[in-house]
Amino acid sequence: MIESIMDVAELVRSLPLPAALLDGAGVVVAANDDWLALGLAEPGAAPRPEALAALGRPEARAAAGAGVVVVLGGTACLESPVRRLDDLLQALPVVVLLTRVDDGCIALAGAEAGRMAGRDTTDLHGLTVMEVGFHGDPAARKVIIDEAGRHGNRLRNLLFEPAFPHRRMLNLSSVTPLDFNGRQHFCSVVLDVTERGEEEERLRESQEAYAAAFAAFPLPTLLFDHRLALAAANAPAEQMLGRDALQDASRPMPHPTLARAADGGDLPAAESPSRAVQGTRRAVHGWRLHFRRPASEDLRAMLVDVFPLPHAADDDLDVMVVIMGDAP
């Protein structure tokens, strides 16, 4: 038998967890220091429901007949790992997934995972990454399982096309294998790089078109980087100058220049049209140069046009040399 409400109130004050005794109207009759420290409600006031949420997992039990209730919270509510994990998963601005290796089921998902998949995040738990659509290609998932699952390798920045029904995307995924609860898992970060991927695709297409056009120009044409190392030569240039000479010219400087002085010696810097173009940043036309014929010491006088190719990002200047024909 409970002697009195006062005894219960004293008991409540002694409890080593946030606790209060409430009357039938929900007003605090007595509370311990832990309760008061949380600022929930002073005696004589009723705690707000949202304030009670700060108690973690509060439990209540009728004390002495109808309307007298002891409310007891959990420990370290705000610092609780449950709260911190939940907060972190809600707050992480990128997609985070913890998936089991053996069956591909999602064990843990951040809020952004639900947003990306177009589903409620809690619905993802227990579904496989294939079912949800994070992986559209079983072969791509097999690569991850082989590399990360079997060999324990971290995988960085893999490009994937997921298979979400609501939108087409390109994802960049990084994966770390880990053992968790006695089972092998993958911890993944997934970034939506659709726009970057589309830009890269456009760049790749452009590069293909322009490089192929360069190769198809009928005039012998050479591209040099800003250090005047040969970066590319088309087939007519290779035919005219020889593969060996072009290979030498593509090595880092200093290397023998393709063009020679009129006596067959090294071309003085002052006579190099490429250096002139780099200095003035203006094209030159009809510059007379001597080239060796392939596998020969014979010289051939040619007229070249040289064009500056300015980088957008810096002051470096690539140059293009177009051999226009034999010099008169």
The DSSP-derived string for 119-150 is: S-HHHHTTSBHHHHTS---HHHHHHHIIIIII
Nearest alpha-carbon partner for 323 in 252, 259, 230:
259
Min dist CB 58 to other proteins, Å, is: 9
Strand 69-72 versus strand 59-62 pairing type: antiparallel
Nearest alpha-carbon partner for 220 in 248, 241, 244:
241
The nearer residue to other proteins, 5 or 261, going by C-beta atoms, is 5
The nearer residue to other proteins, 46 or 108, going by C-beta atoms, is 108
Is there binding between residue 214 and other proteins (CB under 8 A)?
yes
Candidates 188, 257, 274, 278: give the one binding other proteins (CB under 8 A): 188
Candidates 130, 140, 231, 261: give the one binding other proteins (CB under 8 A): 231
Min dist CB 296 to other proteins, Å, is: 28
Among positive and negative, which fits the CA dihedral 69, 74, 78, 83?
negative
Site for other proteins in 12-31 (CB under 8 A): 14-17
Tokens of 110: 């951040």
Which span (117-125, 130-138, 173-181, 243-251) binds other proteins, by CB under 8 A? 173-181
The nearer residue to other proteins, 208 or 266, going by C-beta atoms, is 208
Contacts of 198 (CB under 8 A, 6+ apart): 170
The nearer residue to other proteins, 63 or 260, going by C-beta atoms, is 63
CA 139/CA 186 separation, integer angstroms: 17
Taking residue 232's Cβ as centre, other Cβ atoms within 10 Å add up to 17
Site for other proteins in 60-89 (CB under 8 A): 60-64, 70, 72, 74-75, 78-88
CA 39/CA 54 separation, integer angstroms: 10
Q: Residue 309: beta bridge partners?
A: 318
Is there binding between residue 120 and other proteins (CB under 8 A)?
no
- Radius of gyration of the CA atoms of the chain, in A: 37
The nearer residue to other proteins, 226 or 275, going by C-beta atoms, is 226
Per-residue contact string for residues 276-315; x = within reach of other proteins by CB under 8 A: -------x---------------------x-xxxxxx---
The nearer residue to other proteins, 91 or 143, going by C-beta atoms, is 91
Is there binding between residue 327 and other proteins (CB under 8 A)?
no
Taking CA 104 as the corner, what is the angle to CA 101 and CA 109, rounded to the nearest 5 degrees? 100
The nearer residue to other proteins, 27 or 180, going by C-beta atoms, is 180
Candidates 93, 165, 252, 328: give the one binding other proteins (CB under 8 A): 93
